[in-house]
Amino acid sequence: MPLVFESKSFNIIVPERPHISRADGGHIIIIPKTEVEDRTKLSPEHAVELMKLTMVAGEAMKTALSSRGIEIGRINYQDNGNWTHLLHIHLYGRAKNAPIQKYGAPLNFPATKEEFLVQPALPPLNEDDISEISKEIKRLLNTDKYKSF
């Protein structure tokens, strides 16, 4: 899975089989480097780092993809854990002109992992998207808002 960003304790990746397509807004995942059952098992330090990363990654995703022609109206943050019973946070971009996952409507996913795996694969974010999101994360982390977080 392509790496978008690596922090002290977490990786931000693009799944090879995203839940929503690039055109619908894209999909990235924040994953702890050490397996954790859920957020209640995080140390206070890791909890703060995760919150900061969700904020920075969401802001970067919105800015970077909007600059690349995918107008992102909002980011949906989801901590599902249904298929993989370990902490990981999904960030779903919600494109205003999404062809399948219509903006303003709830995301529509298959009910089971098996149903998901038999569907045709959706186009993930591309290398240029990933590069722009990564650059924007690094830029944001050097702003006053996030330096003192």
92-119 residue pLDDT tens: 999 999 999 999 999 999 888 899 899 9
Q: What pLDDT, on the 0 to 100 scale, is given for residue 53?
A: 98
State CA 122 to chain mean position distance. 15
- For the whole model, what pTM was predicted? 0.95
Taking each continuous run of H as one helix and of E as one strand, the counts in the chain are 4, 5
Instruction: Point out which residues pair with 31 in neighbouring strands.
Output: 11
| All domains of the chain in start order, with CATH | 3-96+106-135 (3.30.428.10)
Q: What pLDDT, on the 0 to 100 scale, is given for residue 122?
A: 96
Q: How far apart are CA 41 and CA 26, in angstroms?
A: 28
End-to-end CA distance of the chain: 28
Q: How far apart are CA 26 and CA 73, in angstroms?
A: 12
Is the pLDDT reported for residue 48 higher than 90?
A: yes
